Amino acid sequence: MILDCDPGHDDALALLLALARPEVRLLAVTTVSGNAPLEQTTRNALRVLTLLGRTDVPVAAGADRPLDGVLRIAPEVHGASGLDGADLPEPAAEAVDASALELASAFLEAEDAVTIVATGPLTNVAGLLSARPDLLPRIEAIVLMGGAIGEGNWTASAEFNIWADPQAAAAVMTCGRPLAMMPLEVTHQARLSTADMAAMEALGNRTGLIFADLMRYFARVHAEWYGWDGPPIHDAVAVAHVLGGGLITTRRYPVSVEVEGRHTRGRTVVDTRPFSSAEATVDVGVSIDREAFVRMLLQAIAVFP
């Protein structure tokens, strides 16, 4: 697996989950601007890997802005650093001296089948698809967190990751490789409760303490916006989907991305009509076993010091 991300509180948990599970071989982390500017998301990935004692995993920085050149970030949700709320260690390693495109291409050249999990704007993934179409057959699947069937979170119509770079999302949706999309309908079910955050802290390890602080910070904006007592762990849902085990139910639908609409730019148009004549190509997450998901996260946190 290659994790392309913009950490990000929930990206950090996605990364932790991928590292904790023996079924996953995490080849690389590539970073993109999204929740914060690229320099911050790269630094955050390195800080999380340092906390988890896994600076052996290579990190490469990718796109510093979306395909249309307009930087879009989310400090309202993740704070100015992109990962506010906890005392994370300083990075004990640096990003590799290669771009995200170069690092991902090198692994795709070397491996027969790589799953790309994308938990930020899709700029890097779209860049890879257009720069190296020869490597398409090596991509086993692209699993992304993004979009919504109905209500968005950044605008009434759009979810943040797709809104931030709709052109990139549109390119990914039409790439022809197996695709799975975890939209807000499923990630909003994947919420921690106050008790879950207390359980995280009660694990007693440093990782649990720091992640409980991170999740309590991430909870604030969701309390304000939705009245929820805990945050949705959007991005770890994408990793959980790769792990399988029946936690997440998907349905295959045609999905297109609105790249122009004045009110609907960044909307994922999911054609749920049973009589649609469009080809259904995207496995769209619709429900998740929340209790099992939270258990999986707690077990994953407990693996680390």
- Using CB under 6 A, list all residues that contact ligand BDR: 8, 10-11, 35, 74, 77, 119-120, 145, 153, 159-161, 234-235
Is the CB of 33 or the CB of 153 nearer to ligand BDR?
153
Is the CB of 108 or the CB of 241 nearer to ligand BDR?
241
Is the CB of 51 or the CB of 164 nearer to Ca ion?
164
Catalytic residue among 9, 78, 222, 234: 234
Is the CB of 35 or the CB of 207 nearer to ligand BDR?
35
Least Å from the CB of residue 3 to Ca ion: 10
Least Å from the CB of residue 83 to ligand BDR: 10
Only one of the segments 51-59, 102-110, 118-126, 283-291 lies at the binding site for Ca ion (rule: CB under 5 A); that segment is: 118-126
Least Å from the CB of residue 153 to ligand BDR: 5
Q: Closest residue to ligand BDR, Cβ-based?
A: 160
Record the tokens describing residue 291, joined without a space.
Answer: 């209790």
> Is 234 known to be catalytic?
yes
| Bridge partner list, 191 | 232
Least Å from the CB of residue 120 to ligand BDR: 6
How many other β-carbons are positioned within 10 Å of the β-carbon of residue 212? 22
What are the DSSP calls for the chain, one per residue? -EEEE---HHHHHHHHHHHH-TT----EEEE-SSSS-HHHHHHHHHHHHHHTT-TTS-EEE--SS-TTS-----HHHH-TTSSTTS-PPPPSS---SS-HHHHHHHHHHH-S-EEEEE-S-SHHHHHHHHH-GGGGGGEEEEEEE---SS--SSSSS--HHHHH-HHHHHHHHTS-S-EEEE-HHHHTTSBPPHHHHHHHHHT-SHHHHHHHHHHHHHHHHHHHHH--SS-B-HHHHHHHHHH-TT-EEEEEE-EEE-SS-TTTTT-EEE---TT--S---EEEEEEE-HHHHHHHHHHHHHT--
Q: Using CB under 5 A, which of 1, 4, 8, 248 touches Ca ion? A: 8
Site string for Ca ion, 63-102 (x = CB under 5 A): ----------------------------------------
- The listed partner (Ca ion, ligand BDR, none) that binds 79, CB under 5 to 8 Å by sort, is none
User: Does residue number 120 form part of the binding site for Ca ion (CB under 5 A)?
Assistant: yes
Least Å from the CB of residue 9 to Ca ion: 8
Is the CB of 108 or the CB of 270 nearer to ligand BDR?
270
Task: Please give the positions annotated as active site.
Answer: 234
